[in-house]
């Protein structure tokens, strides 16, 4: 919702200040700094084990940073429970699609769209008609209308991906954290997902983690490259692609033969 308390123009929406996370001595994140401006669309790439998912876990409260601080609208998120962070306006889509298998897509969305997550509201308050229309609209957008009344567990992988993206949109957070949204989608669906995310940015701030370089290029956004738990470089896709350090971490060897990571994507 754009009407939410607007942060002052120069205040970043999200700021990670030298965040480090240690799992029994292994540093999954190592002195990571990152700043997201309101309304920005940002892509995060990095080889396997670069700490991309841990990075989302730290923001959403699943993992507590060993060192450093996570600020959302100038307020520290460290030590805040997951559901409170979610209520502050941070939504997350998981790497493998996680939908409620035994509920229908419609009911999945109705849970996500609910503005008030208290049990008494769910028991005594009906779903307001704007919310109902929103659910109907989103079902149409992701093409799940024909399947809206059968358990979501029976949907295909791609449909589950889209359902989860729709759930994230229904939740209407200020910051959308999207982990591998196009894994297992067709090229056409990938293009539509890119359009959707671009459309959402502006009103919302969107952070996308993805391996698919074509998809990242379609997003046409700033790219942050993670490597061994810290930021390797940042910049537009073209610049990042030709950075020798990026090529090195993706290929594991220093080479001049390949002038872009495109070749390995």
User: What does the binding site for other proteins look like in residue numbers (CB under 8 A)?
Assistant: 60, 62, 81-83, 86-87, 91-92, 94, 98-104, 107-108, 110-112, 114, 117-119, 122-123, 127, 149-151, 167, 171
- Residue (165 or 246) nearer to other proteins, CB: 165
Closest to other proteins by CB, 123 or 253: 123
As measured in angstroms, the least distance from the Cβ of 91 to other proteins is 7
Residue 120 C-beta: closest distance to other proteins, Å = 9
Half-sphere exposure of 90 (CA within 13 A, CB side): 25
- Min dist CB 62 to other proteins, Å, is 7
Closest CB to other proteins among residues 147, 250 = 147
Task: Give the residues across from 17 on adjacent strands.
Answer: 69
Bridge pairing between strands 41-45 and 26-36: unpaired
| Pairs from 111-120 (Cβ < 8 Å, separation ≥ 24) | 112/166, 112/167, 112/168, 112/170, 112/171, 113/170, 113/171, 113/172, 117/83, 117/87
Q: Smallest distance, Å, CB 92 to other proteins?
A: 5
Eight-class DSSP state of 32: E
Closer CB to other proteins, 86 or 251, in the complex: 86
CB of 158 to other proteins, least distance (A): 19
How many whole angstroms separate alpha carbon 224 and alpha carbon 45? 6
Measured between alpha carbons, how far is 28 from 18 in angstroms, rounded to an integer?
Answer: 13
Q: For the CA atoms of the chain, what is the radius of gyration?
A: 19
Query: CB of residue 125 vs other proteins: minimum separation in angstroms?
Result: 9
Token digits of residue 46: 């990095």
Give ∠ CA 200-201-206 in degrees, rounded to 5.
100
Query: Is the CB of 108 or the CB of 241 nearer to other proteins?
Result: 108
Q: Which two tokens stand for residue 206?
A: 């969107």
* Shortest spacing between CB 114 and other proteins, in angstroms: 7
The neighbour count for residue 157, using CB atoms within 10 Å, is 12
Please say which residue, 66 or 114, places its beta carbon nearer to other proteins: 114
List for the chain the helix, strand, coil content (%; round to 5). Answer: 40, 25, 35
Q: Which is nearer to other proteins, 37 or 127 (CB)?
A: 127
């Amino acid at each position: 919702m754009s009407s939410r308390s607007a942060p002052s123009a120069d205040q970043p929406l999200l700021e990670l200040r030298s965040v480090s996370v240690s799992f029994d001595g292994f540093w999954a994140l190592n002195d990571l700094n990152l700043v997201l401006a309101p309304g920005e669309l940002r892509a995060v790439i990095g080889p396997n084990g670069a700490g991309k998912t841990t990075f989302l876990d730290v923001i959403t409260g699943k993992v507590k940073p060993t060192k450093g601080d996570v600020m959302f609208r100038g307020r520290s998120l460290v030590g805040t429970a997951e559901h409170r962070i979610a209520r502050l306006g941070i939504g997350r889509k998981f790497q493998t699609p996680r939908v409620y298998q035994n509920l229908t897509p419609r009911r999945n969305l109705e849970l996500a769209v609910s503005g008030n997550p208290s049990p008494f509201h769910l028991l005594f308050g009906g779903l307001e008609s704007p919310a109902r229309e929103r659910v109907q609209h989103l079902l149409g957008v992701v093409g799940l209308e024909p399947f809206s009344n059968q358990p979501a567990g029976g949907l295909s992988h791609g449909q589950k991906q889209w359902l989860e993206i729709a759930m994230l949109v229904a939740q209407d957070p200020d910051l959308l954290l999207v982990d591998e949204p196009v894994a297992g989608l067709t090229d056409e669906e990938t293009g539509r997902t890119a359009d959707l995310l671009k459309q959402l940015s502006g009103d919302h701030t969107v952070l996308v983690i993805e391996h698919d370089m074509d998809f990242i290029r379609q997003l046409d956004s700033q790219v942050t490259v993670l490597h061994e738990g810290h930021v390797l470089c940042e910049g537009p896709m073209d610049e990042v692609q030709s950075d020798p350090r990026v090529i090195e971490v993706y290929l594991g060897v220093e080479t001049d033969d390949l002038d872009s990571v495109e070749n390995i994507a």
